[in-house]
A and B are shown apart, each in its own frame.
Chain A
Amino acid sequence: MSAPANAMALGLQGCEACGLVSRPAPGAVEGRCPRCDEELSFRKHGSIQRTWAFVMAAAICYVPANFLPVLATASPSGTDYDTILQGVVLLWSPTGWPLSIIVLIASIIIPSAKIIALGYLLVSVQRGSNLHHHQRVRLYRMVELIGRWSMVDVFVDTFTAALVQLQPLMSVEPGPGLVFFAAVVVLTMLAVRSFDPRFIWDSQVPTRATHG
């Protein structure tokens, strides 16, 4: 190959499932992978719209996820309701602060950073930005890698509630915020999956491709 080129520019499709490079049959625009049967397209269909839909749904769920209690603690003196942020504050102690920070990062910083990062990637792709390709693809991979860790709080609340059943002394139950918080995690993971990172590079002039 002389100059670096995108497969799409040469009318070729790389299979996302098995990696085989193939060409649509004469007359066809898009087809199926002859090796693994995956439906091929040059870019994921409706990727931008679908990713926006997931990101917006996640942003909407983010509000009740943070304002509704995720845990209800019942004791003879009454019932206490804790939101995620209150859970972080409660964990803060001379010995417990590292865990408090883990929960703060996993439950509050990561979900909001994911929503903002995906929004930025979408806007930059829609505007055909020709800047910071490497940083943007690195951002995408970071969002992809880190997203699952927001599930930490869902597991914390699940196992706290399952174990602390010391009636009539004290019992812990999951609160209504938990399902919204779980929804934020799932929706942002689906958003990452539906985004096509190849869009980031489509604005790049092929001859300017850098190596290394």
Chain B
Amino acid sequence: MSAPEYNVPVADTALTACPDCDLLQRLPDVPPGGAAHCPRCDRELLRRPANSRERVLALTVAAAILWIVANSVPMLGLTVIGYQASTTVMGGAIHLWTHDQQVVAVLILFTAVVAPALQIGFLLAVSLGTGRVPAPRWVGVMIRHQPTLVEWSMIEVMMIGVLVALIKIAELANVVPGLALYLLAGLIFVLAGMQSSIDRRAIWESVSWASGAPR
């Protein structure tokens, strides 16, 4: 069976259907810095951050640097009676892998390392790609899958987990918070700022259409 046909777009580009309740409505003109919500279910439909592209670009670069350093230095260590040990984020996943917990190891690696990297990388590529007019098709592919990566990127959850582990271990040994711990704490805020600076509608309006239809 061949792929289904392309739909016919409606002429009024301000029309939108709420993703959470399907209410058909016309989006208002939102000033920079504003947002629009569905009148029925209150879902956010549109967000227009000011200077979106520049902000996203700056924050993705900052996030990429933080990610690289945070994953190359120890996150936490301990010392006890002359013995010391430390682990990186990846070290946790590797330990699970070598102790018959491959499934969980992959999950940890994905949620703590890979998904954040892709989340940052996709957005960096998107903000570079939207510099061209019209933006190439792969920009659309990336911005379409980016929310899924955000869902599985769990640095802030890991942070709480690490703090709990620190307190538990503190009863047995001297715990030493590593540099990565502070960098990851910073990364949480950079990622939040980065996500809230995206102007999805502007990106979609700049992307070439899959059907090749006039824009």
Q: Which single member of B41, B77, B112 contacts A201 (CB below 8 Å)?
A: B41
A189 touches B10 (CB 8 A): no
- Nearest to B101 among chain A residues (CB) is A174
With contact pairs A33-B7, A148-B157, A174-B96 given, residues A19 and B167 touching in the complex (Cβ less than 8 Å):
no
Q: Which of B86, B93, B201, B207 contacts A158 (CB 8 A)?
A: B93
B54 contacts partner chain A, Cβ-Cβ < 8 Å = no
- Which chain A residue has the least Cβ–Cβ distance from B105? A158
Q: In the bound complex, do residue B103 and residue A179 qualify as a contact, i.e. CB atoms below 8 Å apart?
A: yes
How distant is the Cα of A17 from the Cα of B210 in the complex, in angstroms? 13
Interface flag for B5 (CB, 8 Å): yes
Interface segment among A8-16, A46-54, A111-119, A120-128: the answer is: A8-16
Neighbouring A residues of B133 by C-beta, 8 Å? none
For A186, the chain B residues whose CB sits under 8 A away are: 107
CB distance from A132 to the nearest CB of B (A): 12
Chain B proximity of A158: nearest CB distance (Å): 4
Is A24's CB under 8 angstroms from B169's CB? Answer: no
Residues in A151-181 with C-beta less than 8 Å from chain B: 151-156, 158-166, 169-170, 173-174, 178-179
Is there a chain A Cβ closer than 8 Å to B91's Cβ?
yes
How many residues in A have their beta carbons less than 8 Å from beta carbons of B?
80
Residues of B within 8 A of A14 (CB): 16-19, 22, 24
**Number of interface residues, chain B, beta carbon within 8 A:** 75
Main secondary structure of the interface of B (DSSP, over half): mixed
Q: Are B207 and A36 in contact (CB under 8 A)?
A: yes
Which of B4, B140, B144, B164 is packed against the most chain A CB atoms within 10 Å? B164
Give chain A interface residues in 1-54, CB to chain B under 8 Å: 1, 4-8, 10, 12-14, 16-25, 28, 30-40
Interface residues, chain B, with chain A CB atoms under 8 Å away: 3-10, 15-26, 39-43, 45, 75-78, 80, 83, 85-87, 91-96, 99, 101, 103-104, 107-108, 111-112, 140, 144, 151-152, 154, 157-158, 160-165, 167-169, 172-173, 200-201, 204, 207, 209-211, 213
Extra contacts, 18 of them, besides A137-B41, A164-B172 (Cβ < 8 A), are A21-B9, A21-B10, A23-B8, A30-B4, A32-B4, A33-B7, A33-B210, A34-B210, A40-B7, A102-B160, A103-B164, A133-B41, A161-B92, A162-B94, A163-B165, A164-B169, A178-B101, A201-B41
Residues in A lying within 8 Å of B, measured CB to CB: 1, 4-8, 10, 12-14, 16-25, 28, 30-40, 90-91, 96, 99, 102-103, 106, 133-134, 137, 140-141, 148-149, 151-156, 158-166, 169-170, 173-174, 178-179, 182, 186, 189, 193, 197-198, 200-202, 209-212
